Amino acid sequence: MARFDAFSELFDRYADIIDHRYRPWLEQVLPQQAGRALDAGCGAGRYTTLLADRCQHVLSIDVAERLLTIARHRHPHPNVTFQQRDLRDLSVAADGRFDVVLAVAVVHHLPDPEQAVRHLASLVAPGGRLLIIDMVRPSQRWTRPRIVRYAVAEATHELARRRSLPDAATVLRLRLHSRRRSSPSCTPASACTGRPPTSQATQAGRPPARPARPPPSRPPAL
């Protein structure tokens, strides 16, 4: 069972709560119209729908079958294909190239994130766009006390923002779930075009709008 299957519904609720951190930026940077799109590590399909509204066809893949089940149920779309696959197994020979490749909070889950970015970039069609939201440069070890402190801070932040105790409880439960591993700090967003996959190519895009005050430190990745 994939790690995210152990807390798929909890993660889906949590992802709803933090959606505001990413969606405004994605809405700005995604092309209004495109051909083929890939949502790599689509989770419950939250951003697949953004792609589906703008692209002719979307391939949405994830290793977590339970999250894919939620995605198929919640976001059925005639031009989306959901598949249980490891993003590292995608290839140009088997899958072709994509005009848009999106990976939200996924790359840091792979043992070699730089290789994952290179691989995703290799799937981008000429003139296409690679959009990655993830952490850069882990800056500190996420020990248990630090995770607990962060979880409380993030829950307090969401409580102030949404005035919802259940949402704050969801943040705490997700952050402290025993199957989650510790994560280093995370930047809100970075983007690159389909240029060669070097670290220089992942030039920072505009950060997403932040309607509310952010939590006290950058959030650990999901």
Ligand X SMILES: C[S@@+](CC[C@H](N)C(=O)[O-])C[C@H]1O[C@@H](n2cnc3c(N)ncnc32)[C@H](O)[C@@H]1O
Q: Does 219 bind ligand X (CB under 6 A)?
A: no
Distance in angstroms (rounded) separating the CA atoms of residues 96 and 141? 39
Cβ neighbours of residue 59 under 8 Å, at least 6 residues apart? 36, 37, 38, 39, 80, 81, 83, 95, 98
Do 105 and 133 form a contact (C-beta atoms < 8 A)? yes
Q: Does 87 bind ligand X (CB under 6 A)?
A: yes
**Which one, 15 or 100, has the nearer CB to ligand X?**
15
**Which one, 2 or 153, has the nearer CB to ligand X?**
2
Of the candidate spans 39-47, 135-143, 155-163, 189-197, the one that interacts with ligand X by CB under 6 A turns out to be 39-47
Shortest reach from residue 95's CB to ligand X, in Å: 13
**Which one, 61 or 123, has the nearer CB to ligand X?**
61
Q: Does 41 bind ligand X (CB under 6 A)?
A: yes
Distance in angstroms (rounded) separating the CA atoms of residues 157 and 186? 17
Q: Single out the residue of 62, 99, 134, 158 in contact with ligand X (rule: CB under 6 A).
A: 62
Report the length, in residues, of the chain. Answer: 222
Q: Mask of contacts with ligand X, 131-150, x by CB under 6 A?
A: --------------------
Of the candidate spans 36-44, 150-158, 160-168, 179-187, the one that interacts with ligand X by CB under 6 A turns out to be 36-44
Of 95, 101, 157, whose CA–CA distance to 133 is shortest? 101
Q: Single out the residue of 52, 71, 101, 104 in contact with ligand X (rule: CB under 6 A).
A: 104
Distance in angstroms (rounded) separating the CA atoms of residues 203 and 190? 7
**Which one, 27 or 165, has the nearer CB to ligand X?**
27
Window 3-22: residues binding ligand X (CB under 6 A): 4, 15
Q: Counting beta carbons within 10 angstroms of the beta carbon of residue 158, is it exposed (0 to 12), middle (13 to 18) or buried (19 or more)?
A: buried
Q: Single out the residue of 64, 70, 174, 191 in contact with ligand X (rule: CB under 6 A).
A: 64
H/E run at residue 147 = helix 144-162
Q: Does 105 bind ligand X (CB under 6 A)?
A: yes
Distance in angstroms (rounded) separating the CA atoms of residues 35 and 128? 10
**Structural tokens at position 1:** 């069972």
Contact residues toward ligand X (CB under 6 A) are 2, 4, 15, 41-43, 46-47, 61-64, 67, 86-88, 104-106, 109-110, 222
